[in-house]
Amino acid sequence: QQQVKQSPQSLIVQKGGISIINCAYENTAFDYFPWYQQFPGKGPALLIAIRPDVSEKKEGRFTISFNKSAKQFSLHIMDSQPGDSATYFCAASRGQAGTALIFGKGTTLSVSS
């Protein structure tokens, strides 16, 4: 059973466009929701994270929108650039230090120039 469901599996966006990746979770005990960016052969890099007491968080071109009642959250990448081409993972955890991150299956983003 996939605890964190992520869509789409792949995404192609024109340079300057908006990339949107969606995630849904089941476990209401989750209260920490990060997004990671991963390039081939590299470790996941933390992009941005949110907690359920906030509906939106913005850092530069990256925005997380969070809908607690729907148990959904999404990543928006504004003004997408070719350098953003990577795999993006959403994740969730119970929000206690030392507890596991449960990842979505990932979205491969390609930004065409």
Partner 1 sequence: AAGVIQSPRHLIKEKRETATLKCYPIPRHDTVYWYQQGPGQDPQFLISFYEKMQSDKGSIPDRFSAQQFSDYHSELNMSSLELGDSALYFCASSPVAVDEQFFGPGTRLTVL
23 binds partner 1 (CB under 8 A): no
Give residue 43's identity as a one-letter amino acid code. Answer: G
**Pairwise CA distance, residues 36 & 44, whole Å:** 6
Interface pick for partner 1 out of 24, 35, 44, 66 (rule CB under 8 A):
44
11 binds partner 1 (CB under 8 A): no
**Pairwise CA distance, residues 108 & 96, whole Å:** 29
102 binds partner 1 (CB under 8 A): yes
Backbone angles phi, psi at 51, to 5 degrees: -115, 160
50 binds partner 1 (CB under 8 A): no
106 binds partner 1 (CB under 8 A): yes
Task: Compute the least distance from the CB of residue 80 to partner 1, in Å.
Answer: 22
What lies within 8 Å, CB to CB, of 62 at 6+ separation is 35, 47, 48, 75, 76, 77, 78
**Number of chain residues interacting with partner 1 (CB under 8 A):** 24
Q: Which residues of this chain interact with partner 1, rule CB under 8 A?
A: 32, 34, 36, 41-46, 49, 89, 93, 95-106
